[in-house]
Amino acid sequence: MEEKSCPVCDDLGWVLKENGVERCTCQYSDITENIFQRMNIPKRYRNKELSNFTPDDKAGHRLVLLRIEDYINSDRFKEGKGLFLVGPPGVGKTHLAVSILKEFFRRRGIVGLFYDTRSLLFKLKASFDGSASAREILEETVETPLLVLDDLGSERLSDWARDILHYIIINRYNELKPIIITSNVELKSRKIEGDVLENTLEERMGQAIASRLSEICEIIPVKGKDKRSSGLIAEEVGNEKGNR
């Protein structure tokens, strides 16, 4: 059985009091290891925060951070609204997506779930021969109050992979459950200087998914320099303990 690190709140971060819900004292020492594992946040990204995302004014990062703050502080997620962070590699999309998950936990006590999309599909495929674990993983991705699908649409998908993502996205859409997506490809094709964009999510995953995602996700373009190649990455591994 999974060991709880806070016996007061069972690692929920919140406790029920007479006047409503209150933040548990364990939260003042920030997010526990156990919560990181439940949210499936990779070690490399555990110390990423909105506060240590250094905005590049030329790339419009201040507006990106404002839009993200506005989303976290609003109740739009309750109506199933999510975000679609789109931009080139290394500009901080995964950093921001993880920070959003962490803030939802801190401010609202919501334990979301992070998945790199390709790893999720691989994990499901590896355990799909009738075992219960694939079903459990799939149900978890449909049920979680906040799902991050990292790096969606990074490659052409097999029919099987498309069906799985279809299942997850359509079910969350129907149940008004929000999805935070990061992607290198635009959601829908649009004309840029006369040329029609290829390699869109619409083209890779089909119109049914792209149309639903464009309805439920606010698109936030993230621009800037590739921080990986510019060697500007600050200390990454802040937490060496356990991973899922």
* 176, two tokens: 């008004």
Q: Which is nearer to ligand ATP, 91 or 138 (by Cβ)?
A: 91
Q: Which is nearer to ligand ATP, 8 or 237 (by Cβ)?
A: 237
User: How near is the Cβ of 83 to ligand ATP at its closest, in Å?
Assistant: 13
Amino acid at 59: A
Q: Is residue 227 a contact residue for ligand ATP (CB under 6 A)?
A: yes
Candidate ranges 18-26, 38-46, 89-97, 131-139; the one touching Mg ion (CB under 5 A): 89-97
Amino acid at 241: K
DSSP letters spanning 8-61: TTTTSSEEEETTEEEE-GGGGG-S-HHHHHHHT--GGGTT--STT----GGGTH
Candidate ranges 18-26, 87-95, 106-114, 196-204; the one touching ligand ATP (CB under 6 A): 87-95
Q: Is residue 117 a contact residue for Mg ion (CB under 5 A)?
A: no
Whole-angstrom distance, CA of residue 227 vs CA of residue 59? 13
Whole-angstrom distance, CA of residue 200 vs CA of residue 159? 17
Whole-angstrom distance, CA of residue 234 vs CA of residue 93? 16
Site for ligand ATP in 143-172 (CB under 6 A): 151
Binding residues for Mg ion, rule CB under 5 A, total 1
User: How near is the Cβ of 78 to ligand ATP at its closest, in Å?
Assistant: 26
Contacts with Mg ion by CB under 5 A lie at: 94
